[in-house]
Amino acid sequence: MKTFILIIHIIVAVILIGLILLQNGKGGLGGGLGSGEMYRSKRGAERIVFIGTIVFTVLFLIISIINLLIH
């Protein structure tokens, strides 16, 4: 059981890393520190990657807690 959870954890982590790397790098702190770009809504593939990142982050957190509790 522990091995199965670790394998799932690694798979979720790799997918999460990929989703983070796919995101647009123009946002973040640079936008809030005076880059002059107004807020815009996410559309299409950018929105799917954003929502996927949130879902896999929550999955990663849940699996991490489960992994912590099972030892």
Q: Quick: pLDDT tens for 45-66.
A: 899 999 999 999 999 999 999 9
Query: pTM to 2 decimals?
Result: 0.76
Q: What is the pLDDT of residue 1?
A: 87
User: Residue 5 falls within a domain, yes or no?
Assistant: yes
Domain membership flag for residue 51: yes
Decide if 7 is inside a domain.
Answer: yes
Domain residue limits at 70 = 1-11+47-71
Q: Look at phi and psi of residue 46 and say left if phi exceeds 0, alpha if psi is from -120 to 50, else beta.
A: alpha
Structural domain count, the chain = 1
Query: How many Å apart are CA 67 and CA 17, to the nearest integer?
Result: 19
